[in-house]
């Protein structure tokens, strides 16, 4: 079995200072602070006042918001400069997603566009493809979408029945099938479509104007009503070989690895939405009086606010840590190397997705509770926040599927790592990280007891994998928060939860 070079065994699988060249991972520079401020103003002045129009599926408003975001440079944060982007770090792109997380449904449209709707070209496109699509996507002239799901291929995403058959005489591909619940479906100009070929799943670039492409009716949804969700119908759509993205038969690598990055991006958006919920809760609790006191005077309400702040802090530390680690990945030259690098961080991305989406779930639930009956009324924004939050545990892989990814990726890395680990004799009250050490020690004990050594019949072992994923997730978050706190909590994670919530 190949061993990693890190010597600290089990502990090396969790956030670690040595994996960062600049350990102050949550600190924002002047440029990042300016970006944050710009987005705050964009969301406040342009996005939120238009939310009712977006919810009425006024596609023109969506397109204008995309153009405005493009003008501000927000759509090209991860696009190379050579293709009119800003080529900034994953940490900065995380900050952009976090700030945009305050933008209700537009945040979803934005994230899909700048994540799965753009990154496949950045990482897997040919020069010609990058030149054709990236400048348009970075400017907001075009909107992007990503079409993987089908009626019978949800969590089992690679069980696609959409087909692409090659016409041997012309070299063109003919695509047939239906892709379900595609975000941005009605406003997108270009879709990354996954279809079954004889060589396996392949990714294709399909433009809205190609003959045979049509869009079904808008879905009627519980929340995020301002984002377009509809079926992409592909009826004998003919595309040339230049529309194949990456290698024929290797589309599953693109689908899954781009999803890893999308999960981290979603975590950032959920952190923003959680902070928005906390701010909503604090504002209301300070204003509302019962028994002649503001709600903030009651310890049970204070406890709710404190729990929200703790979870948000953990989620933010973890997401900024992971983004900073991804920023330090070696520039991978070949498709194979890139896929390997991204796949190595599948566990980290899934941890962030699960933790941040569940933090958001708890935050909107408690914010509604603090509003009492008023929270149930549409006059109060928390009603929308509560409905909009629900999707996050479902898309970009359900949290069940992400928990399986955490456990399985952890097991793989665990078996590749020197297992000499935490010595119980080293855990003592004087250590600042004694709880993390003790938790890691318990995980070590657990690993000996769990019957997950062999890969066979993993479905039957799901309950063990579920427990393992939660233990691994909690230690990961604790260590990320510890690293930030070690720097005196000077970072953005701490400041941002504090700044607008003065009690």
Ligand X SMILES: Cc1cc2nc3c(=O)[nH]c(=O)nc-3n(C[C@H](O)[C@H](O)[C@H](O)COP(=O)(O)OP(=O)(O)OC[C@H]3O[C@@H](n4cnc5c(N)ncnc54)[C@H](O)[C@@H]3O)c2cc1C
Interacting residues with ligand X (CB under 6 A): 112, 146-149, 154-155, 181-183, 221, 229, 391, 394-395, 397-398, 400-401
Give the CA count within 13 Å in the CB-facing half-sphere of 469. Answer: 27
Name the minimum Å distance from CB 123 to ligand X.
18
Residue indicated by tokens 């899934």: 350
Residue, CB closest to ligand X: 154
Burial of 297 (0-12, 13-18, 19+ CB in 10 A): middle
Nearer to ligand X by Cβ, of 154 and 216: the residue is: 154
What's the token pair of residue 440? 């890691």
Rounded CA gap, 60 and 268, in Å?
27
How many residues can be counted in the chain? 503
Name the minimum Å distance from CB 145 to ligand X.
6
- Closest by CA position to 201, among listed 251, 163, 128, 257: 251
Name the minimum Å distance from CB 16 to ligand X.
31
Contacts of 14 (CB under 8 A, 6+ apart): 440, 475, 476, 479
Nearer to ligand X by Cβ, of 147 and 382: the residue is: 147
Nearer to ligand X by Cβ, of 98 and 150: the residue is: 150
Contacts of 489 (CB under 8 A, 6+ apart): none
Name the minimum Å distance from CB 404 to ligand X.
6
Nearer to ligand X by Cβ, of 329 and 401: the residue is: 401
Nearer to ligand X by Cβ, of 394 and 446: the residue is: 394
List the catalytic residue out of 78, 150, 366, 396: 396
Nearer to ligand X by Cβ, of 122 and 427: the residue is: 122
Name the minimum Å distance from CB 113 to ligand X.
10
Rounded CA gap, 482 and 318, in Å?
10
Answer yes or no: are the C-beta atoms of 143 and 126 closer than 8 Å: no
Rounded CA gap, 162 and 213, in Å?
13
Name the minimum Å distance from CB 253 to ligand X.
16
In this structure, what are the phi and psi dihedrals at residue 207, rounded to the nearest 5 degrees?
-90, 150
What's the token pair of residue 52? 């009712």
Check if 396 is active-site. yes
Answer yes or no: are the C-beta atoms of 262 and 122 closer than 8 Å: no
Q: Which amino acids are annotated catalytic? A: 396
């Amino acid at each position: 079995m190949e061993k990693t070079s890190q010597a600290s065994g089990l502990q090396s699988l969790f956030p670690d200072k040595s994996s960062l060249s600049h350990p102050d991972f949550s600190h924002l520079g002047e440029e990042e602070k300016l970006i944050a401020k710009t987005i705050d103003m964009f969301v406040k002045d342009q996005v939120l006042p238009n939310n009712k129009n977006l919810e009425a599926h006024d596609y023109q408003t969506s397109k204008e918001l995309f153009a405005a975001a493009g003008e501000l440079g927000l759509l090209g944060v991860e696009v190379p400069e050579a293709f009119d982007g800003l080529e900034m770090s994953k940490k900065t792109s995380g900050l952009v997603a976090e700030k945009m997380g305050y933008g209700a449904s537009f945040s979803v449209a934005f994230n899909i566009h700048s994540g799965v709707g753009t990154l496949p070209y950045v990482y897997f496109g040919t020069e010609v493809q990058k030149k054709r699509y990236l400048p348009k996507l970075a400017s907001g002239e075009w909107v992007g979408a990503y079409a993987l799901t089908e009626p019978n291929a949800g969590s089992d995403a690679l069980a696609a029945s959409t087909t692409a058959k090659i016409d041997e005489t012309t070299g063109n591909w003919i695509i047939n099938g239906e892709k379900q619940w595609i975000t941005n479906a009605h406003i997108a100009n270009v879709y990354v479509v996954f279809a079954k070929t004889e060589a396996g799943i392949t990714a294709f670039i399909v433009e809205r104007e190609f003959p045979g492409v049509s869009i079904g009716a808008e879905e009627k949804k519980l929340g995020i009503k301002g984002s377009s969700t509809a079926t992409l119908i592909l009826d004998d759509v003919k595309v040339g070989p230049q529309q194949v993205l990456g290698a024929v038969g290797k589309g599953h690598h693109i689908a899954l690895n781009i999803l890893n990055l999308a999960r981290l991006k979603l975590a950032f958006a959920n952190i923003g939405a959680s902070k928005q919920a906390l701010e909503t809760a604090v504002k209301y609790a300070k204003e509302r009086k019962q028994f002649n006191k503001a709600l903030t005077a009651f310890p049970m309400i204070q406890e709710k606010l404190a729990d929200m702040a703790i979870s948000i802090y953990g989620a933010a530390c973890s997401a900024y840590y992971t983004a900073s680690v991804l920023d330090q990945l070696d520039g991978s030259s070949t498709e194979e190397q890139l896929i390997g690098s991204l796949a190595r961080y599948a566990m980290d991305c899934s941890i962030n997705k699960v933790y941040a989406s569940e933090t958001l779930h708890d935050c909107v639930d408690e914010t509604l509770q603090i509003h009492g009956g008023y929270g149930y009324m549409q006059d109060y924004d928390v009603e929308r926040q509560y409905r909009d939050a629900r999707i996050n545990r479902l898309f970009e892989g359900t949290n069940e599927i992400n928990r399986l990814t955490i456990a399985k990726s952890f097991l793989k890395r665990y078996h590749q790592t020197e297992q000499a680990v935490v010595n119980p004799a080293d855990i003592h009250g004087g250590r600042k990280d004694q709880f993390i050490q003790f938790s890691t020690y318990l995980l070590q004990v657990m690993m000996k007891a769990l019957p997950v050594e062999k890969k066979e019949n993993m479905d039957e072992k799901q309950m063990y994998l579920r427990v393992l994923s939660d233990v691994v997730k909690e230690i990961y978050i604790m260590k990320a928060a510890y690293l930030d706190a070690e720097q005196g909590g000077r970072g953005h994670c701490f400041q941002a939860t504090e700044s607008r919530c003065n009690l």
